[in-house]
Structure 1
């Protein structure tokens, strides 16, 4: 099997229907299939063979889909890179995986060329006006390269927020199965329009937006950079029915003065980080659209668990494992814990990665007896709904007491003046760690008032002693709040 086969099969029955759009630009299924076949020919002429790594550094533009499926069609391995990477980062990733070629957006040419110096990788630049003309000169007779289910399709590099970035090998079966599961759970069909606001280089956007759209015959309307006003404009203009985002996107929509009824959205999906309950309730009350929360990691392709719309949802939970996937809560010895007890979330199933690229030690530490150890702390209730408590590395130990940042953040979100909150531990000479919060506001409030508000609602050892205000919390390109950066700034 080859992940690109799904595009070919969908194109056979929906050739004339749009698959990817960006404002006035449109690519149909038939054209995407044809252009990806020509990209495969282009790669062949560059000496790319099955199993070779091809890095792609493209923003959310239609050409991403053309190149992505072209690389897969050639039997090569896609190595998606963040377009915001700098020279040293590009060199590290390209050098680590031994990429033969880096295909980059024309505006990134200088950085891309500097990043590949000494790596042995060639550069190819996608220029919007020239790219279609170049491909028209390529024959499209090349068949989809046969690949085994366990062959690597995509090599994702972690963001590096927990240390040195690792290459995550995801197979054709991993990605194809996960895209099919997402399409099934969200009931995606030919009449759906998915908002492509998630970065396509990331596993969330790649599987849930691009691959699930292609699997189901839907349409993906792209947003190169999320901005609430622009997103609202695209949702209304293009008749978006499915919005997949991260909590920071929903918070931005809530704060936008032009936001109004969005009941035309059939489903809103949130992932990437825990959704604050007060944000979820405010969004649903104001816009009349239910948010369905899910959970996963790049190592799980990425979706491992999800709520289902309607009665199959439990607000504040991660939902239940998706079909074919098992999840457990275990102690430090790997023993399963009873319902309600907090332990590490472990995952087993066809979505679990093949391993970390050229890193057998890290692979063996992460995947034990078939179970992927996430490093996330959670619990499960009697009905099988999982709840995220904290990342293990985010847990604060204050004077011997364990404090879960999310619990403190949920209390802060209850204050009407709080827009966003991030709670971290900072070094303390006697207590080991002290609890600190960094907050963005939608109305004026002082630190003492917020401290008093939190102190009234939780145990004395939990409320934040230090509160700082900022205009915006630092986030990754995928919208995750960067707690390490916050902790470092407070410590400094």
Structure 2
């Protein structure tokens, strides 16, 4: 594998600009921000303010209390929390001690939670009260050393649970963070689905995460002023995009995080009007919700000056409507968990090409390669390969998948892309059959496995189909067993019991058979093509 001989994107920045990444832990992001920005508001949550100094103080006290309880460097701690100041405090306390944070969606079912806790060998977990019932369900199969609780009242107290609130008031504070090798030591395990439906733990080092923060800041250039921004933080922080682009980047530049537990446009708009955020790292569903909110013009969204979109392509029509509404620029880009996550972005200064993912981040090399992983010329379609300081160390306890995806520092993404003569990249499809809904990856094989568990289902095929508002939704095609009548309400209930809500198919279709080739291989592309044709006919009629 050789490097790109011609890097057309190099004119936008010094390629080595982000290579001077300090050899420090992720905790240093908060440590430095507290020194620089002190009394400035770090978090604004439900009208409550926490300054940078207070955030560091609570983080250090929690870390000291955890140290006293015996939590040690290298152990895994699960964070199963919705957006809340306790997520941020727990995250940086863990980084200060050299613990490995395992990000867990608080709405996972017991089946999904068990996969992660067994694979990561989690010793401790910090959980929302709403996650307690799921943790209770797995207690016979898995035991945590300690369960820490966020936002719990005394009447909810479980004898096995330690209140985070009490630990944040611990009398001692941290006497310096734990020394570590930032390039080698893992800061976060970010679980992502595999093509087999089994989740894989992406090992992101302190160096990976810090590099991606510095790359992102470099990319935004003079449009992001340290100590003066307010970030609209509505993307879940347990998602790699929210963690890096809202939390870590926000704290790195001394921004105020206007933090929301969940995304609800009607709830958020009055806060936007009052607190006037300037930067919004969102996902397509959020942008779509804003432009379709009937009275959105009344809330002063022109306070936003810079936005980014992650996790899935954003329809050009939505970009135009949002930018007309706000006057802000949406920097389309690309990323994946294995890259901490950002790899590409349309530059804030210079040419922006709508529909492209932009140019590689500073310090990032990219190639389009053929099946033999040889470089292809511009305008060819092939697999996107990426190399840079943000690329993961590998998959946790999974050498085979690591060797398949990582070679000589190059990450082979499984995404099909093309590059134009100016060095702008375009995603054209996915080699893997992954579906992205609301910023979350869904792997059809996992959903199919759950559908096949239902006694009335003979065959199941799950695909992502185009959707006007969501971009893409999950659709399941079902063939009933002989003599059975499939009850779709029952099937939905079965899925909700076994899967997180976002993985449950939005649409179902019952068929007599599924398309297959002569050797019996399921032809999903035919199902997707049918849906596209249906959409085209519907569009033509309207």
TM range (shorter): 0.7 to 0.9
Q: Using the alignment, how far apart are the partners of 2:536 and 2:376 within structure 1?
A: 39
Q: Which residue is 1:178 aligned to?
A: 212
Partners in 2 of 1:116 and 1:89 — Cα distance?
14
Report the secondary structure of 2:64's partner residue: helix
- Verify: 1:358 aligned to 2:397, yes or no: yes
TM-score (norm 2): 0.75
- What is the Cα deviation at residue 284 of structure 1? 2.0
Q: CA deviation at 1:359?
A: 0.4
Find the partner of 2:188 among 144, 149, 154: 154
List alignment gaps of at least 5 residues for structure 1. 396-404, 440-445, 455-492
State the distance in 1 between where 2:281 and 2:58 align: 27
Report the alpha carbon displacement of residue 248 of structure 1 after superposing the two structures with TM: 1.2
- Determine if contact 2:334/2:344 at 8 Å carries over to the other structure: yes
Tell me the secondary structure at the aligned position of residue 371 of structure 2: coil
Match of 2:379 among 340, 344, 366: 340
Which secondary structure does the structure 2 equivalent of 1:311 belong to?
Answer: coil
Give the secondary structure class of the aligned counterpart of 2:426. Answer: strand
Deviations 1:291-336 (A, max 9, x none): 1111110000000111112433211110111111111110110011
Which of residues 294, 297, 303 is equivalent to 2:342?
A: 303
CA distance in 1, matches of 2:340, 2:195: 19
- What's the counterpart of residue 157 of structure 2? none
The number of residue pairs the alignment matches comes to: 432
Which residue is 1:204 aligned to? 241
Equivalent of 1:225, from 262, 267, 278?
A: 262
1:166 shift after superposition: 0.2
| Structure 2 unaligned spans of 5+ | 1-23, 154-162, 435-462, 478-513
- Secondary structure class of the residue paired with 1:263: helix
Partner of 1:247: 284
Relative contact order: is structure 1 or structure 2 higher (C-alpha 8 Å, sep ≥ 6)?
2
* Residue in structure 1 matched with residue 201 of structure 2 by the alignment: 167
Change (3 A) 1:361 1:138: farther
TM-score (norm 1): 0.82
Measured in 2, the distance between the counterparts of 1:279 and 1:448 equals: 19
Partner of 1:104: 127
Partner of 2:96: 73
Q: CA deviation at 1:134?
A: 3.5
Q: Secondary structure at the match of 2:303?
A: coil
Computed over aligned residues only, the root mean square deviation of the Cα atoms, in angstroms, reads 2.7
Distance 1:118 1:424 in 2: 31
Contact 2:303 2:326 in 1 (8 A): no
Indicate yes or no: 2:362 matched with 1:323.
yes
Quote the residue 1:59 is aligned against: 82
Cα offset, 1:421, TM superposition: 5.2
The CA deviation string for residues 315-360 of structure 1, in whole angstroms up to 9 with x for no partner, is 1110111111111110110011111111010111111100100000
Q: Does the aligned pair in 2 maintain the 1:330–1:345 contact within 8 Å?
A: yes
- Residue 45 in 1 paired to residue 51 in 2? no
Superimposed CA distance per residue, residues 19-67 of structure 1 (whole angstroms, 9 cap, x where no aligned partner): 1121222221111111111111222122211111111111100111110
- Alignment CA distance shift 1:19-1:349 (3 Å): same
Over 3 Å counting, the alpha-carbon distance change for 1:448 and 1:265 in structure 2 is: closer
